[in-house]
Copies of this chain bind each other. A is one copy, B any other.
Amino acid sequence: MDVTGHTSFGGHGDPPQGPQKAASIRDVAAAAGVSYQTVSRVINGHPNVKEETRKRVDAAIQTLGFRRNATAFALASGVTRSVTVITSNTVLYGYAATLQGLEEASRAAGYALGVRVVTPEDDLDRTIAAAADTGGGVVVIGFDAIGAAALDRVPAHVPCAALVEAPRPGRTPSRPAVWADDREAARAATEHLLSLGHETVHYVAIPASTGTRRLAPRAEGWRQALEAAGVTPPPTSGKGWDAQAGYEAGKKLARNKDVTAILCGNDDLALGVLRALHHAGRRVPEDVSVIGFDDAPHSAFVTPSLTTVRMDFHGLGRAAFGLLRAQLDTDQQESAPVPAEPTLILRESSGPRDA
């Protein structure tokens, strides 16, 4: 059934007054009866300006509604104070929260924030060049394969910081980067499930950020915990980031009665798994325990509420900005804030075996 809605467009506002070009520092200078350089001094807070002159200039600025032209400033001074975030996604919770942290930090520091999404179809180099052309710095969200590829292609001369899944040994040129200890968090989550009496833990993975044979951190932590307990890790599943992918993986796992505990690479996957288990008639947590990753806002409100690993994406974003700023603004002293550690949040979706 369709709602018979429609979408409409508002009319254009009439532009009554003429083009009314913005006032320049020379206009202000003329109005105040000083040279343009004095105006420049005033707007930059230079100390050696006579109080009375400053007042006159300020008054002229007020009446003319002068605002310094950002473009001209950037060109003449070489200072840009802008950051462009390169990411493959802006909607998934982890990305959106990271972006939020980046935005807050950059706003607080007076930086302009730009966003450019990279897709597999895009020419990475073109996209990166476009981002670098703003003159400012670049922050790459390298949580996935596209992001990681983008990071590798940022030219050496472009100021850049990165958010990555894990430190990347041997990568050159290496860039300042932030990451959370996903491996340790996954290990702790897995150990928690084992401690509840589950004989093994199945893992539904998020897509890897690298093409290498090395396991992604979350998978690696899961594997380590199992092996430490003398359990052979079962095959992993998962072919995407979203709940649909989780549902597909969950359908298969639900058929296997040996599956009593499932760790998921993120909360969306976990949601899909929960749904598949429900369809298969397997109760959570009585029959199967499920743990997610990220602690998305809605995870506390689904039923059963989702046990998950809370990630400080927000803090990660702020830290990444700090790392970039350190390159852009070298006499900037504030060190980048350190993100909170991943934390296992216990809720209803996990419980003892055969509860």
Contact = CB atoms under 8 A, between A and B. Distances in A.
Contacts of A114: 112-115
Contact of A188 (B3, B6, B319): B3
A99 B103 contact: no
A162 B12 CA distance: 11
A20 interface: yes
Interface in A232-289: 242-244, 246-247, 268, 271-272, 274-275, 278
A155 to B, nearest CB: 9
Contact of A176 (B9, B157, B180, B242): B9
Contacts of A157: 17, 19-20, 22
B343 A133 contact: no
Contacts of A71: 71, 74-75, 80, 134-135
B300 A243 contact: yes
Given A20-B157, A247-B301, A341 B180 contact: no
A355 interface: no
A204 interface: no
A115 to B, nearest CB: 5
Contact of A13 (B91, B176, B296): B176
A10 interface: yes
A96 B297 CA distance: 14
A7 B177 contact: no
A78 to B, nearest CB: 9
B130 A104 contact: no
A182 B316 CA distance: 36
A28 interface: no
A15 interface: yes
A165 to B, nearest CB: 12
B4 A341 contact: yes
A179 interface: yes
Given A75-B75, A113-B115, A133 B67 contact: yes
A2 interface: yes
Contacts of A97: 91
A89 to B, nearest CB: 9
A228 interface: no
Interface stretch (A37-45, A166-174, A206-214): A166-174
Contacts of A130: 112
A246 B173 CA distance: 49
B5 A184 contact: yes
B113 A116 contact: yes
Nearest to A82: B114
A55 interface: no
A129 B67 contact: yes
Given A133-B67, A175-B13, A298 B323 contact: no
Contacts of A47: none
Interface of A: 1-15, 17, 19-20, 22, 67-72, 74-75, 80, 84, 90-91, 93, 96-97, 99-100, 103-104, 107, 112-117, 129-130, 133-135, 156-157, 162, 164, 167, 172-182, 184-185, 188-189, 192, 242-244, 246-247, 268, 271-272, 274-275, 278, 296-298, 300-303, 305, 309, 312, 316, 319, 323, 327, 336, 338-344, 346
Top 6 closest pairs, chain A to chain B, by CB: A5-B181, A3-B188, A13-B173, A10-B177, A243-B301, A70-B133
